[in-house]
Structure 1
Amino acid sequence: MRIYRTAKGIVVEEGNTYKLAPGGQWDSLFQQDDLPAYLAGLLERALPLDAFNLDKLLPPIDGQEVWAAGVTYFRSRTARMEESSQAGGQSFYDRVYEADRPELFFKSTAHRTVTHNQTVAIRRDSSWSVPEPELALVVDSRARLIGYTVGNDMSARDIEGANPLYLPQAKVYDRSCSLGPGLLITSEPLPGSTDIQLTIRRQEEDIFTGATRISEMKRSPEELIEYLFRQNSFPRGCFLLTGTGIVPPNNLSIRPGDTIRISIEPIGTLINQVE
């Protein structure tokens, strides 16, 4: 089952049908003792839709926070060490990759987050920015994994590389995060063979393509969630980006007008233009 947030309410996709569930509150999805039963109740009152346009969605976030895990893939560890070498920060990334405690950081709130077919932004004071395609965990208020979505963690690599303490500025700014198109609601873990695919397109040409599998992640979703909820509460649930294993070459920086396409099946495809 997939669910989408729209201006008219929650839309539920089952099979090849779409239904509008009027009156459903987005935050309530993250606060249920029994989410499947709650969704079944919404479907009983839902209205079938003759057509549904994925290009006119709201970001699938309301009162939730977005957090992110860093250096969870070996490729990310190597890239972070390279970009921070001149600042002498490369050992931090090597050590956190091997440490018991993961790197976790605050990423976004609803007003900083966009969704499918909306524009992400580049920091004006950055000359080297890239998208980071990531599997996003959907976590309820009780620290239970209730689903997945596609995430784009926009990052200013030159700012973080200059000094690891600049990470919040490299990661957190308006339209630095994209989620969507919707949420895949499931209690089943995704298979390790699940692919994450990234394409960056410029002037009708694919200038970068890359792929990884979630089996390449060093840490499990359950481990990341457990650390995130230590001494930390999320009354309306949260999203947790799980890190990237796809890193464009050092000579590539996205530009206004580029298109970013991230696909994770069976979740969906998230497309954003760059501004």
Structure 2
Amino acid sequence: MKLIAFEYQQRRRLGLVENDRIRPLLGVSELQELIALPERAIPDPQASLLSLEQVRVLPVINPRRNVMCVGWNYRKHFDESIGKREGQGPETLPEIPTFFSKATGTVAAASDDLPLHAGLTSKLDWEVELAVVIGRGGRDIDEADALSHVYGYTVANDISARDLQRAHGAQWFKGKSLDGTCPLGPVLVTVDQLHDPQALTIECRVNGQVMQRDTTANQIFSVARLIAELSRGMTLEPGDVILTGTPDGIGAAREPALFLADGDLIESRIQGIGSLSNLVLASLSAATPSNRLVSLSCE
């Protein structure tokens, strides 16, 4: 299935994506409901197919716990960051993943306008990432069985305040948790439709210029390994969201460094899933709906 969350007639709904149209589901508003009871994925017999122009796209999931994240999970991104970490991480390729989290208030929709937070940071940066949604919880999950715990995949951007990452003792939580800094969506593709998370092209553009482009085949730690490592001694729950790391091409690693500015448009795309389209505005204090359209599929 390809699932989307949307607002229509002032109600949050879930729907199935069919050829860029939306077929509303009957009486379901949150993805966690479908994860718990898959049999509730029943099309509403009274509802017509909807176009994107008729709805407001919402975050495909509202996480109930912090969004879990992975640092330095592409070799070229690890390499581009050497010398710029200032004590924040290892100087040699890690043997185990680096984990951190983003607060739930960071989550925004695929087409929302996002706050620049200019009063707090001058170094807001982009990080396109494949996001995993857990369907079956567990602890001490074996890597060989880890993908059976996945419900589906979506697109995220781990927008990061680089100066705040360093200002708080090289501890990333604050710099990663400003409101509206994790657009998520536009759809969730379930595992029956997306079988191999290690074979996807991933890309980020800023104002139409390609800043990041790679394939998830180049992740240092696979999705299965990440789930296995994260679950060691720590229970993962249905509906948990895991961001699996970003490719090279971040603004902080460029010469000279380049950061987001008022009016910049960030487009984040993953093959087989879809794309985010987010405008960054200094005038905003929180993520704000826009009428900008997003792609519900990317080849």
TM-score using structure 2 length:
0.77
Contact 1:19 1:46 in 2 (8 A): no
Give structure 1 stretches of 5+ with no counterpart.
none
**Contact kept in structure 1, 2:265 and 2:280, CA below 8 Å:** yes
**Which residue is 1:131 aligned to?**
126
Contact kept in structure 2, 1:67 and 1:105, CA below 8 Å: yes
SS at match of 2:247: coil
- Aligned ranges 1:79-98 → 2 under 5 Å: 79-84=80-85, 87=86, 89=87, 92-95=89-92, 97-98=93-94
Deviations 1:127-163 (A, max 9, x none): 2221100011111242511111000000122333457
After superposition, give the CA deviation of every residue in 1:98-135 in whole Å (9 maximum; x if it has no partner).
Answer: 22x311111131x3310111122334332222110001
SS of the aligned residue for 1:43 comes to coil
Aligned to 1:52: 52
**Residues of 2 paired with 1:151 and 1:137: CA distance?**
10
The answer to whether the 8 A contact 1:80-1:161 is kept is no
Matches within 5 A, 1:1-275: 1-7=1-7, 8=11, 9-15=13-19, 17-26=21-30, 27-32=32-37, 35=38, 37-39=39-41, 42-43=42-43, 45=45, 47-53=47-53, 56-65=56-65, 66-84=67-85, 87=86, 89=87, 92-95=89-92, 97-99=93-95, 101-109=96-104, 111-123=105-117, 124-142=119-137, 144-161=149-166, 165-187=170-192, 188-190=194-196, 192-201=198-207, 206-246=208-248, 247-248=250-251, 249=254, 250-275=256-281
- Structure (1/2) with the larger strand percentage: 1
Unaligned runs of 5+ in 2: 139-148, 282-299
Structure 1, residues 227-252: CA drift from partner, whole Å, max 9, x if none? 22333335442111000013232521
* 1:75 shift after superposition: 2.2
Distance 1:193 1:235, change over 3 A: closer
The structure in which a higher percent of residues are helix is 1
Worse-matched range after superposition: 14-23 or 174-183: 14-23
Count of residues in correspondence between the two structures: 259
Q: SS of the counterpart of 1:147? A: strand
The CA deviation string for residues 166-187 of structure 1, in whole angstroms up to 9 with x for no partner, is 3112111211111011111124
Give runs of ≥4 in structure 1 deviating > 6 Å: none
Q: Secondary structure at the residue paired with 1:47?
A: coil
Map Cα deviations across residues 30-74 of structure 1 (whole Å, 9 max, x no partner). 324xx3x442xx137573314333871111222433111111111
Whether the 8 Å contact between 1:64 and 1:236 is mirrored in structure 2 is: no
Aligned Cα RMSD in Å? 2.5
Partner Cα separation in structure 2 for residue 178 and residue 235 of structure 1: 21
For residues 54 and 18 of structure 1, what CA distance do their matches in structure 2 show? 10
Q: Is the contact between residue 151 and residue 241 of structure 1 (CA under 8 Å) also seen in structure 2?
A: yes
1:228 and 1:59 map into 2 onto residues whose CA distance is 24
Q: Distance in 2 between matches of 1:177 and 1:4?
A: 17
Instruction: Indicate if the aligned counterparts of 2:265 and 2:277 stay in contact, CA closer than 8 A.
Output: yes
Q: TM-score, normalised by structure 1?
A: 0.84
